[in-house]
Amino acid sequence: MSFLVLVRHGQSTWNLKKRFTGWVDVDLTEQGKMEAERAGLLIKNQNINIDFYYSSFQLRANNTLKIIQKILNSKKDFIKAWQLNERHYGELTGLNKIETAKKIGEDKVFEFRRSWDIRPGKLSRESSYHPLNIETYKNIPNEFIPDTESLKDTYNRVLGYFKKEIQPKLHNKNILISAHGNSIRSLCKYLFNLDNDQITNLEIPTGNPLIIKLSDNLKISECRYLDEDRSKNLLVF
């Protein structure tokens, strides 16, 4: 038996401003820090010893994890993987979601945000928002840095890493992943065998740990959001 805990980072500064964030490296708001603290307390109350911690390369997920680890009194190093990054939103990066919906229509924005295999237009490599121009990603080979991504692209990136580096450890270890809405949606599609329509409607709340109990053969025996007050009207498996 083992446990996998998935936590979307707490509210970020661009979440608050309703901007498409993707690979841009923004930090948590004060509310986001409080969400991370509550997530840490909820996990602590489960009395689970976490053996490995994973996060993306991105500040908002890293700092969420650091707050959680502080509450858990864990001094273990966590493993950073760019493959767990948020989906790259291409030319939508930095735009306000509400203003963009007014310009191109709510249906089109929803299609870009939630469809399985539709990519927004490519982000110019001259943009300051492009990962090539962000210090965080300087050691990632250029061929792995996207100009835009669909959810399908994100799924393939996340799952390739998960299957190789994380899943084998779940046979007898407990793992916590602090990541992003679309990287966690990708993991949920795989873990719960969701079809493309289900993944379109899947909501991942900020700072609400999803705890998954696995049997010895890695079959899911139980799962639930720990903050029950914020799990209403969500697709809980």
In the structure encoding, which two tokens stand for residue 90, read together? 């291409």
| Cβ partners under 8 Å of residue 13, min gap 6 | 26, 27, 28, 29
Q: Which residues pair with 213 in a beta bridge?
A: 3, 222
Question: Which amino acid is located at 232 in the chain?
Answer: K
| Cβ partners under 8 Å of residue 107, min gap 6 | none
Distance CA 106, CA 118 (A): 15
Rg of the chain on CA atoms, in Å: 17
Distance CA 197, CA 56 (A): 26
Residue 86 annotated to the active site? yes
Strand order in the sheet with 2-8: 79-80, 52-55, 175-179, 2-8, 210-214, 220-225
Q: Which of 86, 91, 130, 180 is catalytic?
A: 86
- Look at residue 5 and give its three-state secondary structure: strand
Residue 228 annotated to the active site? no
Q: Which residues pair with 7 in a beta bridge?
A: 178
- Please give the positions annotated as active site: 9, 86
